Each structure stands twice: as C-alpha cells, then as structure tokens.
Chains A and B, each alone.
Chain A
Amino acid sequence: MRYEAVIGLEIHVELATASKLFCACRVEFGAPPNANTCPVCLGLPGSLPVLNAKAVEHAVKAALALNCRVAAVSKFDRKNYFYPDLPKGYQISQYDLPVASRGLVEVVVGEVTRRVGIRRVHLEDDAGKLVHEGPAQATVAEAVSSLVDYNRAGVPLIEIVSEADLRSPEEARVFLEEVKTLLQYTAVSECKMEEGSLRVDCNISLRPCGQTTYGTPVELKNLGSFRSAQRALAYEIERQAQLLDEAGRVVRETRHWDEARGVSIALREKEEAQDYRYFPDPDLLPMVFDPGWVERMRAALPELPRQRWRRLVESYGLSPYDAGVITASQALADFYEDTVRAGAGAKAAANWVMGELLRYLNAQGTPAGEFPTTPDHLAELLALVEAGRISGTMAKSVFEEMCRTRQAPSQLVQSKGLEQLGDRTELAPVIEQVLAENPGVAADYRAGKEKALGFLVGQVMRKTQGRAHPRLVNQWLAERLRER
C-alpha cells in the first residue's frame, strides 16, 4: 500500500543566558563536573526557585519570531518522573498554560510552500548529564554504574512543539533549519547542536494515502543533527510501511536512532501524559504578560530571515537562491550588506561572499559569525578588480592572502607587485619573446588555426606570473600576428 508520512517535531533549545532558569548558577559548556551547582539546581530540601527575567524575555521573543500568540497568563507545572539526571524528581515545565501557542512557520521545499503550525512554546529547566561507566562506549544496558554531572540541570530551555504538518523527511529538515535561523536571528540561542544546545525529537506516523485520521505515532530520539533527523525519518517510514503491510499495525513507542548503524532501536513504550502527574508548581508564581510589554518585545525583534530574504531579492536584485544562501546566517547577511554599503556591486559582492568567503570559512572550519576579513577589505578588493588593476584570478589569491594576513588588498597588491599589466610598452617585449620562442604556433595561427592564439596568450600570462591583462594581451597578440 502507499502511505503518507505525518511528522511533528519537538525542539528543545537552550536559551542564551548567563545564569540558570531558577538559580544564579553559571551556564557554561564544558565546565568541570558539578562546578556550577547549588542547592536549587541540585534539588536540595528547602531550596526555592526564583525565575530568570532574561529567560522569560527570550522565550517571548522566540515565540513572537515563530508567529505565536503570547499567553495573557502562564504558569509553571511539575512534570514528575524519576531518573538520575533529574535531581528534584520532577522537571519544572509548563502543562496547560504555556508561554505561547498557535504559531506558524512557512517552509519552502522545492516547489512546495508548506505552512507548519507551532502548537506551543513553553519554558522548562534542563536535566543533568549522565556518563555511563563500564565497557568502553557502554550503552545504558551494559553500564555498571553511571556518573552524574548537574551543571546542565536547571539551564533554561524552550520547547517548541510543531503541529503534525510535515509530510516528508526533507520538509522536516528544512523546517528545522528555518527554526534554527529564526532563533539565531532573534539571538535567543546559539543553537549549537554539537554542544546539545538544540535537540530534536520527531513524532512520526504513517497512514494510507487519502486517509484523514492519524496512524500510531512513534517518537524518535537521539538525533544529533538535522541530517540525522532526516535519515532517521526516512528509515522510520520504511520500517513502519513494512510493519503495516505485514502485520497491519505499529507499536506506539519511543525509539533511539543509532546514527553509526543507520537504524532505530526500540527504547520503551511511550509514556502517557497522565503518568507524569503534572500539577502547578507551588514554589513559583504565575507570569502575567502585559500586552504593551509584548508589543515592545515584538518591536524590538530584528529583521527576520524571510523579510531580509525578500529585501535582498527586491532591493539588491539577487536571485531567490542567492538571497537564501546569504540570509541563512545573520552574520553572513550582515557581512554581505556591509560589503555593498562599502561600495561593492550587489551581484559581485554576492558572488564573492557565497563563493570565496564561504569556501574559505568551510575549509578553515571558522566558527559561525567569525570572519577572516572585513567587508571594507572585500569591497576594496572588488574595486581593484572593477578598475582593472588586478585580474579576477589574481583577486582570488589576493583574497587568500588578505584572509591570512588581515592586510588591506591594495597594500598586498602593491607590496607583492601583483598589479595587472595593461601597459603596451611593458607588455610588447614579452609578446615578442613568446612569438620568437613559438614560431610554429604563430605560423599555425596565421594559417587560420584560431585556437593557437589561446596558447600564446597563456605563455604571456605565465611569463608575467598572471599579471598581464588577458583581454589586452589577446588583442595585441592578434594585432601583432596580423602585421605580417
């Protein structure tokens, strides 16, 4: 039978704050174990939580960027379960009154524009980290014992829950990228998947094409990257389709994605919400969001990726694709616009930012948002090309040098004598020499073999270390060969 996949995502995002959600312990990746802990985040008796104002602000900003409605009143609830990474025996989360709900994100996949609903955005505290002891790389089942680090316990998170509006693994990946870009633009999170500051769980069910009711959902966990989410979903579609064809049913469960082996493994039966015995946290007071304050938060949002994308297409004349590549990162888009503001042509700047700059960043593995050169230097380099002072090929090596030394391109061109040779009196002797050395090739050209000219131009370029102006060399060589 042919099936349609129905996918919804839960995205956990660590908020960019200096301190934890309910205590003043430092939020810091890679600190020594349990260095940043206190009675509150260790769940010691008698300790009381106090809410971090910045985390609330970030949650509201993220919700607004996701086109959500911010609640008038919101409260915290306790989600009760036992696990060693959860020192209090409950997670402080939100049940029936989340910070925001009913949002919308548009994603474009190929020709399809999909409107993906955001069911809710809520605040909660993160759990600690477990290291399993036992045989090297022990799984939970093989571990002898576990070591617990509570540095992450109490770090502020938002959970973003999408509606089950996604229909393919690719749509899911594009949606994740869109959400990540939105969160980075609003500066509420660094969204570093490699540090676990953005984590994704997928809910996926299949149903026969044309059916409107939903099938049995399976939850996928341990998705280390957007790519692995896409892979895991594709695997799960295959697996569930086979189960439905053969046995007619899928078990409702949580499955663990094994990226190395490319398979998912059953972890446990999926909990029912009632098993968490949610109840309002009596230690925390409600949040009441004043509409005027919410509007001020909205007004303070930066230009979001969609708006920026549209503006780059409309006012810079970029292609939708180019504008998409550039606006995928706020830092890259800033770099691009600053380069244009410094005088570079919109199209030339786009080509360089997407070409040489991205290539350099990828090759060097430069951290996101850090650049090896400045928009002013790039604009200056493009001006040198524009004025014919250096060739396009030469510009690429000047760019490399510029990134390596952080020197201005005009300085580099001067100090290294890279300026393009466009002076006839300087080039004429080189042309004569090349003709003298290659009489056969010159004769071929005169005999009508036009391609031979290319070889001679190449020889001139070589003798000038690429500095000669190729178009002028071409012209002068042809003129010289026609003389006899």
Chain B
Amino acid sequence: MSITSEQTEHVAKLARLALAPEEIALYTRQLAQILAHMHVLSQVDVNGVEPTLHVIPDLANVTRPDASRPGLGAELAVANAPEQADGYFRVPRMGKEG
C-alpha cells in the first residue's frame, strides 16, 4: 500500500491539522505502514460473513419515547465558552472555505 504526500496533506486539511513539510513526510511513511498493516485484514476470506454493525451483537432498536425535558438553559450552556454574547456562543468569522 502506498500513499502520496498530497494525500497526507489532504487528510490533514480535512482534520484541520497544520503540518510542517517534515511532518508530512513522516506521517506519509507512517500512514503507509498502517495501511499496509490493515491490508493484511483485507486478505481474510469474509464470504458469507455478515458485516458487524455494532460491537454489541443482537441488540437493536434501543429507543426512548418522544418526551421533552428542560435542557441546561442558555446561561449554563455558554458558561465555559471562550466568548459569548446574549446567550450565544461567539466564534471567529469563517474562512473562505466555509
């Protein structure tokens, strides 16, 4: 399995990680090793094996009735926000990326 430095940069950007050039080289190598390791798993014959949807088997449809109850309230909700205004969280403007 190989991975290009462009792919590393791309996933870093998706994860909002700012990487230095030497880090990109380092992580490209490491990611290639991880992918190679995962590749071993893909060699297992899984014909006729149902995909595992959850680690707890045979448990499904766990729901709650549709009843509301009071939440934290605005004051508590924003209490730990670095910046707040009138019950809102205040965040820096979005970049052009949106």
Q: Which residues of A contact B (CB under 8 A)?
A: 17-19, 23-27, 32-39, 41-42, 50-56, 73, 75, 80-84, 97, 131-134, 140-141, 143-150, 267-268, 275, 277, 280, 282, 285-288
Contacts and interface: CB of A to CB of B under 8 A. Distances in A.
Contacts, number: 138
A143 B93 contact: yes
A132 B54 CA distance: 40
29 contacts: A19-B68, A23-B71, A24-B64, A24-B71, A26-B69, A27-B68, A33-B74, A34-B77, A34-B88, A35-B87, A37-B72, A38-B71, A50-B62, A52-B66, A73-B60, A75-B53, A80-B14, A82-B16, A132-B93, A143-B94, A147-B90, A147-B91, A148-B89, A149-B87, A268-B98, A280-B53, A285-B59, A285-B61, A286-B53
Interface in B1-30: 14, 16
Does more than half of chain B's interface fall in helix, strand or loop, or is it mixed?
loop
Closest 9 interchain pairs by CB?
A: A54-B66, A147-B88, A53-B63, A38-B71, A19-B68, A34-B74, A26-B68, A148-B89, A288-B60
Nearest to A287: B61
Given A131-B88, A148-B88, A282-B55, A25 B68 contact: yes
B56 interface: yes
Interface of B: 14, 16, 53-56, 59-74, 77-78, 83, 85-94, 96-98
A46 to B, nearest CB: 14
A23 B68 CA distance: 8
Contact of B71 (A25, A84, A277): A25
Contacts of A275: 14
Given A73-B53, A143-B93, A37 B68 contact: no
Nearest to B55: A282
A68 B3 CA distance: 40
Contact of A285 (B54, B66, B96): B54
Contacts of B62: 50-51, 285
B71 A26 contact: yes
Contact of B54 (A53, A56, A149, A282): A282
A137 to B, nearest CB: 15
Chain A CB within 10 Å, residue with most, of B55, B60, B68, B78: B68
B64 A34 contact: no
A18 B68 CA distance: 6
Contacts of A23: 71
A45 to B, nearest CB: 12
B91 A84 contact: yes
Contacts of B67: 18-19, 24
